Amino acid sequence: MASMRDIKRRKGSIQSTQQITKAMKLVSTVKLQRAKQRAEQSKAYFNCMYETVSSMLAKTGSLNHPYLKAGESGKKAVIVITSNRGLAGGYNSNITKLITKGDFKKEDLEIYAIGKKGKDALQRNGYHIMEENSDIIEEPSYVDAMGISKKLLDAYAAGEINEIYLAYTGFKNTVVHVPTLLKLLPVEAPESGEAGKETGSKAMMNFEPEDDEALDMIIPKYVTSLIYGGLVEAVASENGARMQAMDSATSNAEEMIDHLSLMYNRARQGSITQELTEIIAGANAIS
């Protein structure tokens, strides 16, 4: 059995770790509240955007537009949204797994990384990092999303890439986060059955300017809004994941401390008993 001093030292160190995890949990709870609010506020925009775009596509789905059909080059761009800091459970590795375990060929991919952790992990695995924009995950703004989508759309228009994906963690609720791989471009026309239902009220929609010109202008906005949505949700998920991870770390520490306290008390009791036996034995020997 370990000595009393060792147990005490161990308990102390676990206690200070627990204090850190507890503080981190509180911090991410507060951050989560904020991020969640933002994610919810922006939801209205995306729902509306999505509805409009799918009703447009339902109408113009057969159109031979560059945004709707795949090009030839074979390169695929993936925007990978992870966090800059670790200690968030499986949050970052789930996203990297989406890419490493997916059906992608390593040579075909150009990674546009947002978040250091994902970038580092993919770089270690030999993926080609085209660009890194890790700062924006701290405080994502719509302007940041516009910058990224502009770069990607330019590359897409120039034929350097022919597919654009977005890998991010969707925020369902505080405890459920879904790693998601979303195809941004070319836009896939919604299934015909689905489209029929949705577009009931909008089937008569007119476009000004004409359909393909309108597509030219709306699709970039659509891509931008999806990127922004991904960023906002990813931030919420990151804090949610960290909160959970820190919560379980705190309760694990609690368990260990309980166990160590028991051991410590036992050791103390043992040493007292031993001392007593020694004294009594000594006294007996003298008399």
Structure tokens at 53: 């775009």
In the block, residue with structure tokens 């103390």: 268
Strand residue runs (E) in 41-173: 76-81, 109-114, 129-132, 163-171
Which range in 34-42, 65-73, 118-126, 158-166 contacts other proteins by CB under 8 A? Answer: 34-42
Q: Output the smallest distance, CB 228 to other proteins, in A.
A: 5
Distance CA 86, CA 195 (A): 41
Q: What is the DSSP-derived secondary structure letter of residue 267?
A: H
Is there a contact between 72 and 159 (Cβ–Cβ < 8 Å)? yes
* CA dihedral sign of residues 149, 150, 156, 157: positive
Number of Cβ atoms within 10 Å of the Cβ of 161: 25
Which range in 87-95, 158-166, 219-227, 257-265 contacts other proteins by CB under 8 A? Answer: 219-227
Residue 221 binds other proteins, judged by CB under 8 A: yes
Looking at the DSSP bridge assignments, the partners of residue 111 are 78, 129
Which range in 110-118, 123-131, 158-166, 196-204 contacts other proteins by CB under 8 A? Answer: 196-204
Query: By rule CB under 8 A, what string of x and - marks binding of each residue 228-257 to other proteins?
Result: x-----------------------------
Q: Output the smallest distance, CB 38 to other proteins, in A.
A: 7
Query: By rule CB under 8 A, what string of x and - marks binding of each residue 38-67 to other proteins?
Result: x--xx-xx--xx--x---x-----------
Distance CA 67, CA 211 (A): 13
Residue 98 binds other proteins, judged by CB under 8 A: no
Q: Which is nearer to other proteins, 1 or 44 (CB)?
A: 44
Q: Output the smallest distance, CB 118 to other proteins, in A.
A: 23
End-to-end CA distance of the chain: 34
> Contact residues for other proteins (CB under 8 A)?
38, 41-42, 44-45, 48-49, 52, 56, 142, 146, 201-202, 204-209, 214, 217-218, 221, 224-225, 228
